[in-house]
Structure 1
């Protein structure tokens, strides 16, 4: 085996393991989908907020239109966060949403909005949004998008859609909202993501607390013996055994007469951690 190939293989394994360890430290992870390789620059401060909130993120650059700098290869960063640039070697768009808790689309155009609203695929953004909705992942979109692609703005030297197209674009936005897609100003997207994960954590904590309360309440209604020796007399003194069961702490001694009475009354002995 070539020594260079072996070193590359080892380094890739180490980097991958480091990425996995880093992901475990995060509360979750989102994917940002940008139009091109420079569109992410205004979001640098938002990425810092996400890192400080222990929310992981990856970046997808839709630079199929700029294959001059991509060449014919898939590009991934070697930094702390993964960066994907699309071409024919990149992951299938419909598969991407599976690895994330949510998808962030800072800017959407008339064409993609029409496809999403109609449930159509055919573009990378439309397929990612389609798969995210199917997998019940949250989708956040920049609410101040002009509706015209960055490349089209540069080519046509215009910053906004004409009135008839604007009306159509806003109708698509309403239909996307009905699908569960949420719209926020581009510079507030990170805050919206943080709120999503904060609510998720609060829901989990609330569910755990509710389970604990239910368990405590259930234990209160059970026949629990808390002494060291279970006797015949104690069993006889109990008026009722819920579910025909008696709950003992581990290590409790059952007297011979108590064992006979348990069989006679057909009571089930269950051991619990709680004494």
Structure 2
């Protein structure tokens, strides 16, 4: 391969990668928050389902209560005067939901549930949930969880909370629901995301149709003055006609007097 062919090949690859990145940015993206770097392994099938439906996702791994990893960035939270971000490019927890369509937390524990229900911050989960709810973005949480952190289960060698703590956890869950947090079985979280994404796409298509350049005239081949008279008002975008529609001379004069622009559908 000579130099010219090599440069052409490299340029083509760069342009293709830029195109792929642009297409990727247009796709809806959700954020998964896992307790540690191994907690996501049982969700691979859900990730495949999201990918097959054109939905992207990022994964944030918790590295303790007040720190986490999003890609190569270490995110930390803390009070006044404390460390906020571990590097200059990492967002603070409150900024994280701004880049996503919604947030998914397969596991919720007693501590964070209490913080969220009380409107408190101080942990990665609590701050991200608070930010997402304030921004009006959906927060999906796994409902079939014991309320006990993975680390606590490993340390205490137990899988469930005592009954009084279970009742307390359920009260916090109900309070979280009142705040707008949605709970689904862990295996159905991806299905819930897909349903919401499909609903958003239908809504966007409907809004786009409603906000098109103007009012679409009926499918009649001839647009008459009587039809123009019958319209009480026209949208700012004017009148959109289907290809092949004929406008009568009198209707043209009336539209011109009203200042209504006429366009044809592509």
Fold in common (TM above 0.5): yes
Q: Distance in 1 between matches of 2:152 and 2:172?
A: 19
Structure 1 residues 209 and 270, CA, compared in 2 at 3 Å: closer, same or farther? closer
Give how far 1:64 is off. Answer: 3.4
| TM-score, length basis structure 2 | 0.71
Structure 1 residues 133 and 247, CA, compared in 2 at 3 Å: closer, same or farther? closer
Structure 2 counterparts to residues 116-195 of structure 1, below 5 A? 116-195=116-195
Structure 1 residues 244 and 125, CA, compared in 2 at 3 Å: closer, same or farther? closer
2:71 to 37, 59, 76: 76
Give how far 1:23 is off. Answer: 2.1
SS at match of 1:33: strand
Q: Which residue of 2 aligns with 1:91?
A: 91
Answer with 132-141 or 240-249: which moved more: 240-249
Q: Distance in 2 between matches of 1:185 and 1:34?
A: 15
Q: Distance in 2 between matches of 1:135 and 1:97?
A: 8
Q: Distance in 1 between matches of 2:17 and 2:103?
A: 22
SS at match of 2:112: helix
Give how far 1:129 is off. Answer: 0.2
Question: Unmatched 5+ residue regions in structure 1?
Answer: 1-12, 78-83, 227-234
Give how far 1:267 is off. Answer: 3.3
Q: Which residue of 1 aligns with 2:41?
A: 41
Summarize deviations over 1:21-41 as a string: whole Å, max 9, x none. Answer: 242352x11000000000000
Contact 1:143 1:184 in 2 (8 A): yes
Count of aligned residue pairs for this structure pair: 227
Contact 1:63 1:86 in 2 (8 A): no
1:270 aligned onto 2:260: yes
Q: Distance in 1 between matches of 2:114 and 2:122?
A: 11
Which structure's CA Rg is the greater one? 1
Structure 1 residues 105 and 167, CA, compared in 2 at 3 Å: closer, same or farther? same
Superposition RMSD in Å: 4.0
Give how far 1:91 is off. Answer: 2.5
Give how far 1:94 is off. Answer: 0.8
Q: Which residue of 2 aligns with 1:23?
A: 24
| TM-score, length basis structure 1 | 0.68
Give how far 1:141 is off. Answer: 0.1
Q: Distance in 1 between matches of 2:239 and 2:165?
A: 71
SS at match of 2:64: helix
Q: Distance in 2 between matches of 1:47 and 1:32?
A: 10
Give how far 1:186 is off. Answer: 0.8
Larger relative helix fraction: 1
SS at match of 1:140: strand
1:56 aligned onto 2:56: yes
Structure 1 residues 239 and 29, CA, compared in 2 at 3 Å: closer, same or farther? closer
Structure 1 residues 199 and 240, CA, compared in 2 at 3 Å: closer, same or farther? closer
Question: Unmatched 5+ residue regions in structure 2?
Answer: 1-13, 77-84
